[in-house]
Amino acid sequence: MGSEIKSGVLHGKYELGRLLGHGTFAKVYHARNLQTNKSVAMKVVGKEKVIRVGMMEQVKREISVMKMVHHPNIVELHEVMASKTKIYFAMEYVRGGELFAKIARGRLREEAARNYFQQLISAIDFCHSRGVYHRDLKPENLLLDEEGNLKVTDFGLSAVTDHLRQDGLLHTTCGTPAYVAPEVIGKKGYDGAKTDIWSCGVILYVLLAGFLPFQDDNIVSMYRKIYRGDFKCPPWFSPESRKLITKMLDPNPATRISIAKIMDSSWFKKSLPRSLRTKEDEDDANVGKGKETETLNAFHIISLSEGFDLSPLFEEKKRVGKEQLRFATTRPASSVISKIEEVAKTKNFSVKKSDSCVRLQGQESGRKGKLGIAADIFAMTPSFVVVEVKKCSGDTLEYNQFCSNELRPALKDIEWTSTGGNSMPALSL
């Protein structure tokens, strides 16, 4: 495998072991990180072969996508190394094998199928919230760890929002025939999120049935069935699962069910693991109790200045999706509350308030349920207050968009400005 491997050790860091599997362009080996003693899966891609068939962009895309998506149900990319001839992906080692192997032994019981499906939808919903569409979902790309947790892998065919044409649609034909959506076969533009939902529908059918919904030895005949949405559910499917699959395998992408609606369906919600439940409002009990406006201490005050932000010394590194904004104002707390209430009315939020806190609750369900926002008001002096806004529930991306497009502009005219004319640097996400 080249000079970069000496005595079976790659880059002086990974000890390579047995071959776990191989595809057209890559081999995957078991490897051990000599520094941590942890097992990893080392995917080795030959540069020359990839360049020869014009797939270098696809490899680069897989790297950039996997760096974007950190989720418990997605295989983690630890690091990427390269030599003159090879690219090495050090990835999370998932010991349990493919979900496909489980199905090959026969259909799953409804409870087990639902458990895997819930984890799959959680992972794909997360990808979509980051503008990533997998486009090759099938049981072979779903791995299981030792505890039976599902892990989505193989983002080689994934697309990101950068690949959308001016019509806002994707246009590359991809995917595995039996799992591919009809609009992709039709070679018209398609919505990446909708095609992933179709593939998830095929996967759920296969988990419950033990065979594919669209089967035919003749691929043209199979495509015709897919195009028409021509399938039948076996008699052992429960009415609720039948209803959900029919909505997911709707050949018309415009009327196909959304992920938010899938997650809201009664079949999906049954026996939902605690880790996948929508975070309920933990602050409700504190809102409306009329507690006195809190006073900030010296550390709070210092941290308001961007140049003296001491929070990194005390807090763990924040994740990419920031969930808090802070600003100062010379207006009284009542003015701040009134301003936030105005925004809430225009955007259909319900409001709960006390003298030092405003709680907004969205009425419509978004990607991760209803958006919940809390604004805490701290008094530094009777005429100088600091407001901290944070997400309590819902999707981070939707929260950030609400803050940027609605809340921040509405609060701009009450934001504190120093005598030099510079506004507080803390009014940021």
Residues serving a catalytic function are: 136
Tell whether 390 is in a known binding site. Answer: no
Q: Which helix (H) or strand (E) holds 59?
A: helix 56-68
DSSP state of 289: S
What is the chain's length?
A: 429
From 294, 312, 295, select the one nearest 303 (Cα to Cα): 312
Asked if residue 327 lies in contact with residue 427, where contact means CB atoms within 8 angstroms, the answer is yes
- Hey, is 181 helix, strand or coil? coil
The pair of structure tokens assigned to 82 is: 């390269």
**Burial class of residue 108 (count of CB atoms within 10 Å of its CB; 0-12, 13-18, 19+):** buried
Distance (Å, rounded) from C-alpha 223 to C-alpha 230?
A: 10
- Hey, is 205 helix, strand or coil? helix
DSSP state of 286: G
Annotate 329-364 with b (16+ C-beta within 10 A) or e (fewer).
Answer: bebbbeebbebbeebbeebebeebbbebbbbbbbee
- Hey, is 373 helix, strand or coil? strand
Distance (Å, rounded) from C-alpha 40 to C-alpha 29?
A: 8
From 380, 395, 384, 379, select the one nearest 418 (Cα to Cα): 384
- Hey, is 310 helix, strand or coil? coil
Known binding-site residue numbers? 47
Known binding-site residue numbers for ATP? 47
